[in-house]
Amino acid sequence: MPIKLSITDADFEDGFVKLLGMKRESDADVDAVVADIIAAVRARGDAAVCEYTNKFDRLNIDAKGMVVTKDEVDAAVAAVEPDLLKSLELAAERIRSYHDRQMPADERYIDASGVELGWRWRPVSAAGLYVPGGLASYPSSVLMNAIPAKVAGVERLVMVVPTPDNKMNPLVLAAARIAGIDEIYRIGGAQAIAALAYGTETIKPVDKIVGPGNAFVAAAKRRVFGQVGIDMIAGPSEILVVADGSNDPSWVAADLLSQAEHDPVAQSILITDDAAFADRVQEAIDMHLETLPRAEIAGASWRDFGAIVVVENLTQAPALVDRIAPEHLELAVDDPDALAEDIHHAGAIFLGRYTPEAIGDYVAGPNHVLPTARSARFSSGLGVLDFIKRSSLIKCTPESLAKIGPAAIALAESEGLQAHGLSVAIRSNRM
Protein backbone atom coordinates (compact mmCIF):
# COMPACT_ATOMS: atom_id res chain seq x y z
CA MET A 1 0.00 0.00 0.00
CA PRO A 2 1.18 3.55 -0.68
CA ILE A 3 2.23 5.71 2.24
CA LYS A 4 -0.59 7.75 3.78
CA LEU A 5 0.20 10.86 5.76
CA SER A 6 -2.01 13.50 7.28
CA ILE A 7 -0.57 16.85 8.28
CA THR A 8 -2.59 16.69 11.49
CA ASP A 9 -0.92 13.44 12.59
CA ALA A 10 1.48 13.83 15.52
CA ASP A 11 4.19 11.95 13.62
CA PHE A 12 3.63 13.75 10.27
CA GLU A 13 7.10 15.30 10.15
CA ASP A 14 8.78 11.93 10.72
CA GLY A 15 6.71 10.32 8.00
CA PHE A 16 7.35 13.14 5.55
CA VAL A 17 11.11 13.02 6.14
CA LYS A 18 10.97 9.26 5.54
CA LEU A 19 9.08 9.88 2.29
CA LEU A 20 11.75 12.37 1.16
CA GLY A 21 14.54 9.97 2.01
CA MET A 22 13.16 6.92 0.13
CA LYS A 23 15.94 5.31 -1.88
CA ARG A 24 14.73 4.52 -5.37
CA GLU A 25 18.04 4.09 -7.17
CA SER A 26 19.53 0.73 -7.83
CA ASP A 27 23.05 0.85 -6.45
CA ALA A 28 24.45 -1.70 -8.88
CA ASP A 29 28.22 -1.53 -8.72
CA VAL A 30 28.99 -1.22 -12.39
CA ASP A 31 31.77 1.32 -12.14
CA ALA A 32 34.71 -1.07 -12.45
CA VAL A 33 33.23 -2.78 -15.51
CA VAL A 34 32.57 0.60 -17.09
CA ALA A 35 36.13 1.77 -16.43
CA ASP A 36 37.46 -1.28 -18.28
CA ILE A 37 35.15 -0.74 -21.23
CA ILE A 38 36.16 2.91 -21.56
CA ALA A 39 39.86 2.04 -21.37
CA ALA A 40 39.42 -0.62 -24.06
CA VAL A 41 37.62 1.76 -26.42
CA ARG A 42 40.29 4.43 -25.88
CA ALA A 43 43.04 1.89 -26.61
CA ARG A 44 41.49 -0.09 -29.46
CA GLY A 45 38.77 2.10 -30.94
CA ASP A 46 36.32 0.53 -33.38
CA ALA A 47 37.55 -3.00 -32.70
CA ALA A 48 36.68 -2.75 -29.00
CA VAL A 49 33.29 -1.14 -29.70
CA CYS A 50 32.40 -3.96 -32.11
CA GLU A 51 33.51 -6.64 -29.65
CA TYR A 52 31.33 -5.23 -26.86
CA THR A 53 28.41 -4.84 -29.25
CA ASN A 54 28.78 -8.47 -30.22
CA LYS A 55 28.97 -9.47 -26.55
CA PHE A 56 26.20 -7.32 -25.03
CA ASP A 57 23.81 -6.83 -27.96
CA ARG A 58 24.43 -10.20 -29.64
CA LEU A 59 25.11 -8.34 -32.85
CA ASN A 60 28.08 -9.32 -34.98
CA ILE A 61 29.18 -6.17 -36.81
CA ASP A 62 32.41 -4.63 -38.09
CA ALA A 63 33.24 -0.92 -38.00
CA LYS A 64 31.34 -0.20 -41.21
CA GLY A 65 28.35 -2.10 -39.86
CA MET A 66 28.03 0.33 -36.93
CA VAL A 67 26.73 3.00 -39.29
CA VAL A 68 22.98 3.25 -39.81
CA THR A 69 22.71 4.31 -43.44
CA LYS A 70 20.43 6.85 -45.09
CA ASP A 71 18.71 3.99 -46.90
CA GLU A 72 17.89 2.30 -43.62
CA VAL A 73 16.39 5.51 -42.28
CA ASP A 74 14.40 5.97 -45.50
CA ALA A 75 13.05 2.45 -45.14
CA ALA A 76 12.13 3.02 -41.49
CA VAL A 77 10.31 6.26 -42.28
CA ALA A 78 8.39 4.50 -45.06
CA ALA A 79 7.39 1.75 -42.63
CA VAL A 80 5.79 4.14 -40.13
CA GLU A 81 2.02 4.68 -40.26
CA PRO A 82 1.32 8.10 -41.85
CA ASP A 83 -0.83 9.22 -38.91
CA LEU A 84 1.91 8.43 -36.43
CA LEU A 85 4.44 10.27 -38.58
CA LYS A 86 2.14 13.29 -38.53
CA SER A 87 1.92 13.10 -34.74
CA LEU A 88 5.72 13.01 -34.53
CA GLU A 89 5.94 15.98 -36.87
CA LEU A 90 3.40 17.95 -34.83
CA ALA A 91 5.38 17.19 -31.67
CA ALA A 92 8.65 18.23 -33.34
CA GLU A 93 7.18 21.48 -34.59
CA ARG A 94 5.80 22.38 -31.17
CA ILE A 95 9.04 21.46 -29.39
CA ARG A 96 11.03 23.55 -31.89
CA SER A 97 8.75 26.54 -31.52
CA TYR A 98 9.01 26.49 -27.70
CA HIS A 99 12.78 26.05 -27.67
CA ASP A 100 13.29 28.79 -30.27
CA ARG A 101 12.21 31.24 -27.58
CA GLN A 102 14.95 30.00 -25.23
CA MET A 103 17.80 31.35 -27.35
CA PRO A 104 19.39 34.10 -25.22
CA ALA A 105 20.67 37.36 -26.64
CA ASP A 106 24.29 38.45 -26.81
CA GLU A 107 25.22 41.58 -24.89
CA ARG A 108 27.69 44.40 -25.56
CA TYR A 109 27.89 47.78 -23.87
CA ILE A 110 30.31 50.49 -22.80
CA ASP A 111 30.08 51.37 -19.15
CA ALA A 112 30.59 54.68 -17.35
CA SER A 113 34.37 54.12 -17.10
CA GLY A 114 34.63 53.56 -20.85
CA VAL A 115 35.24 49.82 -20.53
CA GLU A 116 33.52 47.80 -23.25
CA LEU A 117 31.90 44.69 -21.78
CA GLY A 118 29.55 41.95 -22.81
CA TRP A 119 29.25 38.32 -23.72
CA ARG A 120 28.33 36.20 -26.65
CA TRP A 121 26.80 32.75 -26.98
CA ARG A 122 28.10 30.11 -29.36
CA PRO A 123 26.90 26.55 -29.90
CA VAL A 124 28.77 23.43 -28.89
CA SER A 125 30.33 22.14 -32.14
CA ALA A 126 29.28 18.50 -31.88
CA ALA A 127 26.82 16.73 -29.58
CA GLY A 128 26.05 13.06 -29.01
CA LEU A 129 22.61 11.74 -28.15
CA TYR A 130 22.24 8.41 -26.37
CA VAL A 131 18.97 6.58 -27.10
CA PRO A 132 18.27 3.39 -25.14
CA GLY A 133 17.43 0.26 -27.09
CA GLY A 134 14.70 -2.26 -26.45
CA LEU A 135 11.58 -1.37 -24.48
CA ALA A 136 12.65 2.13 -23.40
CA SER A 137 13.51 3.21 -26.94
CA TYR A 138 11.25 6.25 -27.11
CA PRO A 139 10.93 8.38 -30.25
CA SER A 140 9.64 11.25 -28.10
CA SER A 141 12.97 11.32 -26.27
CA VAL A 142 14.84 11.56 -29.56
CA LEU A 143 12.88 14.72 -30.36
CA MET A 144 13.25 16.17 -26.86
CA ASN A 145 17.04 15.70 -26.80
CA ALA A 146 17.85 16.52 -30.41
CA ILE A 147 15.68 19.54 -31.17
CA PRO A 148 17.18 21.88 -28.53
CA ALA A 149 20.62 21.04 -29.95
CA LYS A 150 19.51 21.88 -33.48
CA VAL A 151 17.87 25.11 -32.29
CA ALA A 152 21.14 25.99 -30.52
CA GLY A 153 22.99 25.62 -33.82
CA VAL A 154 25.01 22.47 -33.06
CA GLU A 155 26.66 21.60 -36.37
CA ARG A 156 27.08 17.89 -35.88
CA LEU A 157 24.51 15.83 -34.00
CA VAL A 158 25.33 12.16 -33.53
CA MET A 159 22.90 9.51 -32.28
CA VAL A 160 23.84 6.15 -30.81
CA VAL A 161 21.19 3.50 -30.23
CA PRO A 162 21.86 -0.14 -29.37
CA THR A 163 19.91 -2.72 -31.38
CA PRO A 164 19.97 -5.85 -29.19
CA ASP A 165 19.46 -8.94 -31.38
CA ASN A 166 19.40 -6.55 -34.33
CA LYS A 167 16.03 -5.08 -33.33
CA MET A 168 15.53 -1.38 -34.10
CA ASN A 169 12.41 0.68 -33.46
CA PRO A 170 11.59 2.34 -36.82
CA LEU A 171 9.88 5.20 -35.00
CA VAL A 172 13.20 6.09 -33.40
CA LEU A 173 14.79 6.42 -36.83
CA ALA A 174 11.82 8.43 -38.08
CA ALA A 175 12.18 10.78 -35.11
CA ALA A 176 15.91 11.09 -35.84
CA ARG A 177 15.11 12.07 -39.43
CA ILE A 178 12.52 14.63 -38.33
CA ALA A 179 14.86 16.09 -35.70
CA GLY A 180 17.74 16.42 -38.18
CA ILE A 181 20.26 13.99 -36.66
CA ASP A 182 23.44 13.91 -38.82
CA GLU A 183 24.95 10.51 -37.98
CA ILE A 184 23.50 7.34 -36.40
CA TYR A 185 25.42 4.34 -35.01
CA ARG A 186 23.83 1.06 -33.84
CA ILE A 187 25.88 0.85 -30.64
CA GLY A 188 25.02 1.34 -27.00
CA GLY A 189 26.18 0.94 -23.41
CA ALA A 190 29.40 2.30 -21.95
CA GLN A 191 31.18 1.47 -25.22
CA ALA A 192 28.99 3.95 -27.11
CA ILE A 193 29.57 6.67 -24.51
CA ALA A 194 33.34 6.07 -24.71
CA ALA A 195 33.26 6.21 -28.52
CA LEU A 196 31.41 9.53 -28.43
CA ALA A 197 33.72 11.02 -25.80
CA TYR A 198 37.08 9.88 -27.14
CA GLY A 199 36.34 9.05 -30.77
CA THR A 200 37.30 5.97 -32.77
CA GLU A 201 38.51 5.50 -36.34
CA THR A 202 34.89 5.66 -37.54
CA ILE A 203 33.25 7.98 -35.01
CA LYS A 204 34.65 11.46 -34.49
CA PRO A 205 34.47 12.63 -30.85
CA VAL A 206 31.76 15.02 -29.69
CA ASP A 207 31.90 17.82 -27.10
CA LYS A 208 28.72 17.06 -25.17
CA ILE A 209 26.68 13.90 -24.53
CA VAL A 210 23.00 13.90 -23.55
CA GLY A 211 20.25 11.35 -23.22
CA PRO A 212 19.03 8.75 -20.75
CA GLY A 213 20.43 5.24 -20.28
CA ASN A 214 20.80 2.33 -17.89
CA ALA A 215 23.24 2.12 -14.96
CA PHE A 216 26.19 1.38 -17.28
CA VAL A 217 25.44 4.39 -19.43
CA ALA A 218 25.01 6.63 -16.40
CA ALA A 219 28.30 5.44 -14.89
CA ALA A 220 30.08 5.96 -18.22
CA LYS A 221 28.70 9.48 -18.51
CA ARG A 222 29.96 10.32 -15.03
CA ARG A 223 33.40 8.96 -15.97
CA VAL A 224 33.79 10.88 -19.25
CA PHE A 225 32.54 14.13 -17.69
CA GLY A 226 35.33 16.67 -18.07
CA GLN A 227 36.52 15.15 -21.34
CA VAL A 228 33.06 16.14 -22.64
CA GLY A 229 30.06 17.88 -21.12
CA ILE A 230 27.11 15.75 -20.00
CA ASP A 231 23.50 16.46 -19.14
CA MET A 232 22.07 15.49 -15.80
CA ILE A 233 22.04 11.86 -14.67
CA ALA A 234 18.32 11.09 -14.82
CA GLY A 235 16.69 9.14 -12.01
CA PRO A 236 13.33 7.35 -12.03
CA SER A 237 10.33 9.46 -13.03
CA GLU A 238 8.18 11.31 -10.49
CA ILE A 239 4.86 13.11 -10.37
CA LEU A 240 3.31 15.19 -7.62
CA VAL A 241 -0.34 16.11 -8.03
CA VAL A 242 -1.86 18.80 -5.82
CA ALA A 243 -5.62 18.44 -6.13
CA ASP A 244 -8.69 19.72 -4.31
CA GLY A 245 -11.88 17.69 -3.87
CA SER A 246 -13.52 19.13 -6.98
CA ASN A 247 -11.49 16.96 -9.36
CA ASP A 248 -12.67 13.82 -11.07
CA PRO A 249 -10.80 11.17 -9.05
CA SER A 250 -10.34 8.97 -12.13
CA TRP A 251 -8.49 11.80 -13.94
CA VAL A 252 -6.09 12.28 -11.05
CA ALA A 253 -5.70 8.50 -10.72
CA ALA A 254 -4.73 8.28 -14.42
CA ASP A 255 -2.14 11.02 -13.94
CA LEU A 256 -0.58 9.27 -10.95
CA LEU A 257 -0.42 6.01 -12.91
CA SER A 258 1.03 7.67 -16.00
CA GLN A 259 4.33 8.11 -14.17
CA ALA A 260 4.01 4.92 -12.15
CA GLU A 261 3.84 2.86 -15.36
CA HIS A 262 7.35 4.00 -16.37
CA ASP A 263 9.21 1.99 -13.79
CA PRO A 264 8.59 0.01 -10.58
CA VAL A 265 10.79 2.61 -8.83
CA ALA A 266 8.93 5.63 -10.25
CA GLN A 267 7.13 7.70 -7.62
CA SER A 268 3.64 9.26 -7.66
CA ILE A 269 2.42 11.47 -4.83
CA LEU A 270 -0.95 13.10 -4.24
CA ILE A 271 -1.39 16.09 -1.93
CA THR A 272 -5.02 16.96 -1.25
CA ASP A 273 -7.08 18.80 1.34
CA ASP A 274 -9.92 16.28 1.04
CA ALA A 275 -9.44 12.87 2.70
CA ALA A 276 -12.59 11.46 1.11
CA PHE A 277 -11.35 12.52 -2.33
CA ALA A 278 -8.05 10.74 -1.59
CA ASP A 279 -9.99 7.54 -0.94
CA ARG A 280 -11.84 7.93 -4.24
CA VAL A 281 -8.52 8.40 -6.07
CA GLN A 282 -7.26 5.16 -4.52
CA GLU A 283 -10.41 3.39 -5.72
CA ALA A 284 -9.98 4.81 -9.23
CA ILE A 285 -6.36 3.66 -9.28
CA ASP A 286 -7.46 0.14 -8.41
CA MET A 287 -10.03 0.30 -11.17
CA HIS A 288 -7.60 1.60 -13.83
CA LEU A 289 -5.08 -1.06 -12.85
CA GLU A 290 -7.58 -3.74 -13.82
CA THR A 291 -7.33 -2.79 -17.49
CA LEU A 292 -3.96 -1.09 -18.03
CA PRO A 293 -1.43 -3.22 -19.95
CA ARG A 294 1.43 -2.07 -17.72
CA ALA A 295 -0.57 -2.66 -14.53
CA GLU A 296 2.17 -4.79 -13.02
CA ILE A 297 4.80 -2.05 -13.21
CA ALA A 298 2.41 0.79 -12.34
CA GLY A 299 0.89 -1.20 -9.48
CA ALA A 300 4.29 -2.02 -7.99
CA SER A 301 5.41 1.60 -8.18
CA TRP A 302 2.21 2.86 -6.52
CA ARG A 303 2.33 0.17 -3.84
CA ASP A 304 6.03 0.59 -3.00
CA PHE A 305 6.66 4.29 -3.57
CA GLY A 306 3.29 6.00 -3.97
CA ALA A 307 2.03 8.40 -1.30
CA ILE A 308 -1.06 10.34 -0.35
CA VAL A 309 -0.59 13.40 1.84
CA VAL A 310 -3.70 14.98 3.32
CA VAL A 311 -3.41 18.61 4.42
CA GLU A 312 -5.98 20.77 6.19
CA ASN A 313 -5.76 23.50 3.62
CA LEU A 314 -4.00 23.76 0.24
CA THR A 315 -2.11 26.82 1.48
CA GLN A 316 -0.03 24.22 3.36
CA ALA A 317 0.91 22.54 0.08
CA PRO A 318 3.65 24.86 -1.31
CA ALA A 319 6.04 24.27 1.60
CA LEU A 320 5.65 20.49 1.18
CA VAL A 321 6.01 20.72 -2.62
CA ASP A 322 9.26 22.66 -2.24
CA ARG A 323 10.69 19.99 0.04
CA ILE A 324 9.82 17.32 -2.52
CA ALA A 325 10.98 19.51 -5.46
CA PRO A 326 9.21 17.23 -7.94
CA GLU A 327 10.15 16.56 -11.54
CA HIS A 328 6.51 17.00 -12.61
CA LEU A 329 3.99 19.06 -10.63
CA GLU A 330 0.28 19.16 -11.45
CA LEU A 331 -1.86 21.81 -9.81
CA ALA A 332 -5.44 20.62 -10.29
CA VAL A 333 -7.21 23.52 -8.61
CA ASP A 334 -9.33 26.48 -9.68
CA ASP A 335 -6.55 29.07 -9.51
CA PRO A 336 -3.35 27.15 -10.27
CA ASP A 337 -1.33 30.30 -11.02
CA ALA A 338 -1.89 31.67 -7.53
CA LEU A 339 -0.77 28.37 -6.02
CA ALA A 340 2.24 28.17 -8.36
CA GLU A 341 3.36 31.60 -7.24
CA ASP A 342 4.14 30.26 -3.77
CA ILE A 343 6.11 27.26 -5.05
CA HIS A 344 9.83 27.53 -5.80
CA HIS A 345 11.12 24.12 -6.83
CA ALA A 346 9.63 21.99 -9.64
CA GLY A 347 10.92 20.83 -13.01
CA ALA A 348 7.69 21.50 -14.87
CA ILE A 349 4.36 22.80 -13.63
CA PHE A 350 1.10 21.63 -15.21
CA LEU A 351 -1.55 24.22 -14.47
CA GLY A 352 -5.23 23.43 -13.99
CA ARG A 353 -7.50 20.45 -14.32
CA TYR A 354 -7.12 20.05 -18.08
CA THR A 355 -3.33 19.73 -18.20
CA PRO A 356 -2.34 16.11 -17.62
CA GLU A 357 1.40 15.62 -17.26
CA ALA A 358 1.49 13.29 -20.29
CA ILE A 359 0.65 16.16 -22.62
CA GLY A 360 4.06 17.56 -21.71
CA ASP A 361 5.76 14.23 -22.44
CA TYR A 362 4.81 14.46 -26.10
CA VAL A 363 3.37 17.50 -27.73
CA ALA A 364 3.02 20.54 -25.46
CA GLY A 365 6.44 21.87 -26.48
CA PRO A 366 8.51 22.22 -23.27
CA ASN A 367 11.17 19.58 -22.73
CA HIS A 368 10.31 16.30 -21.02
CA VAL A 369 13.91 15.83 -19.81
CA LEU A 370 13.55 17.25 -16.31
CA PRO A 371 15.41 17.19 -12.99
CA THR A 372 14.58 14.20 -10.77
CA ALA A 373 15.35 13.15 -7.19
CA ARG A 374 14.87 16.65 -5.68
CA SER A 375 17.42 18.20 -8.04
CA ALA A 376 14.81 20.74 -9.20
CA ARG A 377 16.10 22.64 -6.14
CA PHE A 378 19.20 23.51 -8.17
CA SER A 379 18.74 22.47 -11.81
CA SER A 380 16.52 22.96 -14.83
CA GLY A 381 15.12 20.77 -17.55
CA LEU A 382 17.03 20.25 -20.78
CA GLY A 383 16.98 23.21 -23.13
CA VAL A 384 18.87 25.33 -25.61
CA LEU A 385 21.20 26.56 -22.84
CA ASP A 386 22.60 23.03 -22.55
CA PHE A 387 24.00 23.26 -26.07
CA ILE A 388 25.46 26.77 -26.05
CA LYS A 389 28.13 28.43 -23.96
CA ARG A 390 28.99 31.99 -23.13
CA SER A 391 32.31 33.75 -23.69
CA SER A 392 32.68 36.98 -21.75
CA LEU A 393 34.11 39.95 -23.63
CA ILE A 394 36.29 42.71 -22.20
CA LYS A 395 37.89 45.59 -24.10
CA CYS A 396 39.79 48.42 -22.46
CA THR A 397 41.18 51.58 -23.99
CA PRO A 398 44.32 53.23 -22.56
CA GLU A 399 41.99 55.67 -20.80
CA SER A 400 39.56 53.15 -19.33
CA LEU A 401 42.41 50.88 -18.25
CA ALA A 402 43.95 53.85 -16.45
CA LYS A 403 40.65 54.39 -14.63
CA ILE A 404 40.04 50.90 -13.30
CA GLY A 405 43.65 49.65 -13.36
CA PRO A 406 44.82 51.02 -10.00
CA ALA A 407 42.21 49.02 -8.09
CA ALA A 408 43.26 45.86 -9.96
CA ILE A 409 46.91 46.50 -9.13
CA ALA A 410 46.10 47.07 -5.45
CA LEU A 411 44.07 43.87 -5.20
CA ALA A 412 46.67 41.83 -7.12
CA GLU A 413 49.39 42.98 -4.77
CA SER A 414 47.26 42.23 -1.72
CA GLU A 415 46.92 38.67 -3.04
CA GLY A 416 50.67 38.41 -3.63
CA LEU A 417 50.22 38.10 -7.40
CA GLN A 418 52.72 40.68 -8.65
CA ALA A 419 52.79 39.53 -12.28
CA HIS A 420 49.06 40.20 -12.39
CA GLY A 421 49.72 43.73 -11.15
CA LEU A 422 52.66 44.12 -13.52
CA SER A 423 50.57 43.27 -16.58
CA VAL A 424 48.23 46.14 -15.75
CA ALA A 425 50.83 48.61 -14.50
CA ILE A 426 53.14 48.14 -17.48
CA ARG A 427 50.39 49.44 -19.77
CA SER A 428 49.65 52.41 -17.57
CA ASN A 429 53.22 53.71 -17.34
CA ARG A 430 52.81 53.22 -13.64
CA MET A 431 56.01 51.19 -13.31
Nearest by Cα to 311 from 340, 351, 277 = 277
**84 vs 276, which CB is nearer to a second copy?**
84
The residue from 176, 243, 260, 317 that contacts a second copy (CB under 8 A) is 260
| Contact between 246 and a second copy per CB under 8 A | no
Q: Please work out the total of residues on this chain that contact a second copy, with binding judged by CB under 8 A.
A: 122
Q: How far apart are CA 200 and CA 197, in angstroms?
A: 9
C-alpha 430/C-alpha 422 separation (Å) is 9
Cβ proximity to a second copy: between 162 and 371 the closer is 371
Q: Which residues lie below 8 Å from residue 10, measured CB to CB, with a gap of 6+?
A: none
Site stretch for a second copy (CB under 8 A), options 14-22, 33-41, 55-63, 99-107: 99-107
Among the residue ranges 8-16, 71-79, 96-104, 307-315, the one whose residues contact a second copy (CB under 8 A):
96-104
Stretch that binds a second copy, among 5-13, 66-74, 243-251, 310-318 (CB under 8 A): 243-251
According to DSSP, the residues that pair with 308 across neighbouring strands are: 4, 270
Site mask for a second copy (CB under 8 A), range 332-371, x = bound: ----x---x---xxxxxxxxxxxxxxxxxxxxxxxx--xx
Minimum CB separation from a second copy for residue 320, in Å? 15
The interface with a second copy within residues 140-159 (CB under 8 A) comprises 140
Q: CA 112, CA 30: separation in Å to the nearest integer?
A: 56
Residue 237 annotated in ligand binding: yes
Segment 278-307, which members bind a second copy (CB under 8 A)? 288, 292-294, 298
Is 316 known to sit in a ligand binding site? no
Tell me which stretch binds a second copy (CB under 8 A): 183-191, 270-278, 313-321, 383-391.
383-391
Q: Rounded to an integer, what distance in angstroms lies between the CA atom of residue 173 and that of residue 226? A: 30
Residues 39, 79, 84, 319: which binds a second copy (CB under 8 A)?
84
Respond yes or no: is residue 330 known to be catalytic. Answer: no
Residues 401 to 420 in contact with a second copy, rule: CB under 8 A: 401, 404-408, 410-412, 414-420
Residues whose CB is less than 8 angstroms from the CB of residue 110 and which lie 6 or more positions away in sequence, other chains included: 116, 117
Q: How far apart are CA 246 and CA 145, in angstroms?
A: 37
Neighbours of 417 (CB within 10 A): 12
**Contact partners, residue 153, CB within 8 Å, separation at least 6:** 122, 123, 387, 388
- The amino acid present at 130, given as its one-letter code, is Y
Active-site residue among 183, 238, 261, 327? 327
- 368 annotated to bind ligand: no
CA dist 12 → 3, 309, 326 (Å): 11, 9, 19
The span from the CA of 377 to the CA of 347, in Å, is 9
Cα three-residue angle 142-198-34, rounded to 5 degrees: 80
Q: Which C-beta is closer to a second copy: that of 186 or that of 262?
A: 262
Strand partners, 243: 272, 332
Residue 209 backbone phi and psi in degrees, to 5: -120, 130
From 328, 345, 357, 368, the catalytic residue = 328
Only one of the segments 3-11, 40-48, 144-152, 253-261 lies at the binding site for a second copy (rule: CB under 8 A); that segment is 253-261
Residue choice 21, 82, 290, 378 for contact with a second copy (CB under 8 A): 378
Q: Which of 147, 208, 234, 272 binds a second copy (CB under 8 A)?
A: 208
107-110 and 3-6: which strand pairing? Answer: unpaired
345 an active-site residue? no
Residue 375 in the binding site for a second copy (CB under 8 A): yes
Catalytically annotated residues: 327-328
- The binding site comprises 130, 191, 214, 237, 259, 262, 328, 361, 415, 420
